[in-house]
């Protein structure tokens, strides 16, 4: 009998941020196929004798080709196993979970998707940035700075969206800023550069678009990085709940953003 594949979101990094269902499925998995950045504590939830496959990439290094990962999932399920495909954040947010689901559907393998806390939501939350703060932001969009074809996002059409969360932004940060400025965003637009959100090496820098255009993300860094662009990013000064000693009053950031 054919097995089943669970496409499980591992959350943004902190192992406590996986869902209860994801943790339960891991505990009864026969095989775990995981991204490299997934926390060791999560892999330890699987039974000691579960098969484990690392198919992720480290920073900008080489990764297992997507087709091989999909083939592996199909092959494991065909031997009757309960397979957990553990992916960072949410499986369907820039995670290529859709491609894996299609391969499973094509092969008539049963699968289930278990949503995860995407870094696009967890990063801003941990930096004290409410993505849709009333009065400052009525719209938010997830955008990738890097595409498979190398083509840049249409920054001009994105200019009308109040808050942009830009994934895969580390090395592309300067190009992102240039595109947004060309698309009509002011130099003074608040920006948060968030690295390794929810992990021990988390770092948040609150700057503006003009500064980002000049400096980019700084020294090359293998930590995952995203940008939050828009008035709400400035609230990270006042609502930095992970660094409470650094907090000024929120009122002036609300006024400045209106
Ligand atoms: C291939 S995408 C996967 C996104 C994932 N599926 C999600 O929902 O968060 C990888 C990108 O997600 C972002 N990312 C993932 N984890 C992150 C974290 N802990 N802190 C900051 N950015 C993160 C970065 O932009 C990184 O380049």
For residues 255 and 248, give the distance between their C-alpha atoms in angstroms, rounded to a whole number.
14
Select from 87, 114, 141 the last residue of a domain. Answer: 114
Residue 59 predicted with pLDDT over 60: no
Which listed residue (30, 35, 90, 162) is catalytic? 35
How many other β-carbons are positioned within 10 Å of the β-carbon of residue 132? 12
Q: How remote is the CA of residue 1 from the centroid of ligand 1, in Å?
A: 36
**pLDDT value of residue 63:** 62
Domain match, 43 and 109 both: yes
Q: Domain of 231: which CATH number?
A: 3.30.950.10
Mean pLDDT for 161-170 is: 95
Domain match, 65 and 176 both: no
165 Cβ closer than 6 Å to some ligand 1 atom: no
Domain match, 148 and 246 both: yes
**pLDDT value of residue 170:** 87
13 Cβ closer than 6 Å to some ligand 1 atom: yes
For residues 167 and 224, give the distance between their C-alpha atoms in angstroms, rounded to a whole number.
9
Q: pTM above 0.85?
A: yes
29 Cβ closer than 6 Å to some ligand 1 atom: no
Domain match, 141 and 93 both: no
**Where do the H-state alpha helices sit in the chain?**
20-27, 40-43, 66-78, 97-106, 119-126, 155-158, 173-182, 209-215, 235-238, 251-257
Nearest Cα residue to atom 23 of ligand 1: 224
Domain match, 127 and 249 both: yes
**pLDDT value of residue 65:** 78
**pLDDT value of residue 62:** 56
For residues 233 and 141, give the distance between their C-alpha atoms in angstroms, rounded to a whole number.
14
Residue 60 predicted with pLDDT over 60: no
Residue 90 predicted with pLDDT over 90: yes
Of the candidates 88, 216, 198, 197, which has an alpha carbon nearest to the alpha carbon of residue 145?
Answer: 216
- Higher-confidence position of 108 and 148: 108
Q: Which of 24-33, 81-90, 247-256 has the lowest mean pLDDT?
A: 247-256
**pLDDT value of residue 219:** 80
Q: Which atom of ligand 1 is nearest to the CA of 202?
A: 20
10 Cβ closer than 6 Å to some ligand 1 atom: no
Per-residue confidence at 134, pLDDT binned at 50, 70, 90? very high
pLDDT tens-digit profile of 136-156?
A: 999 999 999 987 787 888 888
The percent of residues above 90 in pLDDT, for the chain, comes to 76
Q: How many domains does the chain have?
A: 2
Q: Which atom of ligand 1 is nearest to the CA of 166?
A: 25
Backbone angles phi, psi at 57, to 5 degrees: -120, 155
Strand 110-114, strand 4-9: pairing: parallel
11 Cβ closer than 6 Å to some ligand 1 atom: no
25 Cβ closer than 6 Å to some ligand 1 atom: no
Q: How remote is the CA of residue 85 from the centroid of ligand 1, in Å?
A: 17
Do the Cβ atoms of 103 and 74 come closer than 8 Å? Answer: yes
**pLDDT value of residue 251:** 65
Domain match, 137 and 252 both: yes
Domain that holds residue 14: 4-114
Q: Give the side-chain half-sphere CA count within 13 A for 38.
A: 33
**pLDDT value of residue 250:** 65
Name 118's Cβ contacts closer than 8 Å, sequence gap at least 6: 9, 12, 89, 90, 93, 142
Each residue of 60-70: b (16+ CB within 10 Å) or e? eeeeeeeeebb
Mutate to test the pocket of ligand 1, among 226, 228, 242 (most ligand atoms within 8 A of CB): 226
Select from 114, 142, 174 the last residue of a domain. Answer: 114
Which listed residue (14, 30, 57, 154) is catalytic? 57
Select from 79, 96, 114 the last residue of a domain. Answer: 114
Query: 3-state class of 171 per DSSP?
Result: coil
Q: Domain of 78: which CATH number?
A: 3.40.1010.10
Residue 207 predicted with pLDDT over 70: yes
For residues 62 and 34, give the distance between their C-alpha atoms in angstroms, rounded to a whole number.
15
pLDDT tens-digit profile of 178-196?
A: 999 999 999 999 999 999 9
């Amino acid at each position: 009998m054919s097995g089943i594949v669970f496409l499980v979101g591992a959350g943004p990094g902190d192992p406590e941020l996986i869902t209860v269902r994801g943790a339960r499925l891991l505990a009864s998995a026969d095989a775990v196929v995981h991204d490299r950045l997934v926390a060791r504590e999560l892999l330890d939830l699987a039974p000691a004798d579960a098969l484990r496959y690392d198919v992720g990439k480290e920073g900008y290094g080489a990764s297992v080709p997507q087709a091989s990962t999909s083939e592996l999932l199909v092959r494991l399920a065909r031997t009757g196993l309960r397979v957990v495909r553990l992916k960072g954040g949410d499986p369907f947010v820039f995670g290529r979970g859709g491609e894996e689901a299609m391969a499973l559907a094509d092969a008539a393998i049963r699968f289930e998707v278990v949503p995860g806390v995407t870094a696009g939501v967890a990063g801003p939350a941990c930096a004290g940035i409410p993505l849709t703060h009333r009065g400052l932001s009525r719209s938010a969009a997830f955008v990738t700075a890097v595409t498979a074809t190398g083509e840049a996002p249409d920054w001009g059409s994105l200019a009308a969206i109040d808050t942009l969360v830009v994934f895969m932004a580390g090395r592309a940060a300067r190009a992102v800023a240039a595109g947004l400025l060309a698309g009509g965003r002011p130099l003074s637009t608040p920006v948060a550069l968030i690295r390794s959100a929810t992990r021990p090496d988390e770092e948040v820098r609150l700057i503006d678009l003009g500064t980002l255009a000049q400096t980019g993300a700084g020294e090359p860094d293998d930590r995952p990085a995203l940008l939050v662009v828009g008035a709400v990013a400035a609230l990270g000064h006042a609502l930095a709940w992970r660094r409470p000693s650094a907090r000024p009053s929120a009122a002036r950031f609300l006024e400045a953003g209106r």
